[in-house]
Structure 1
Amino acid sequence: MAILGTKKNTKEKAEKTLSKEVVVAEKINKENSSSIGSSYNSANSAILRPRITEKSGDASQKLNAYTFEISRSASKNEVAKAIKELYKVAPVKVNITNLPRKRIFSRGKKGWSGGVKKAVVYLKKDDKIEFI
Structure 2
Amino acid sequence: MGTPYISFLAGGLRFLIPMEYVVVIEPAGKAFDEEMPVYDFGRVCGLGRCMSESSYMVVVQADAHRLGLIVNLVEKVRMINEEEVLSPDGPAFWERNEYLSGVLHMEGMQPPLAYLLDMPRLWKKLERLEPDYSNN
**TM interval, short-chain normalised:** under 0.3
| Structure that is richer in helix per residue | 1
TM-score, normalised relative to structure 1: 0.24
Larger radius of gyration: 1
TM-score, normalised relative to structure 2: 0.23
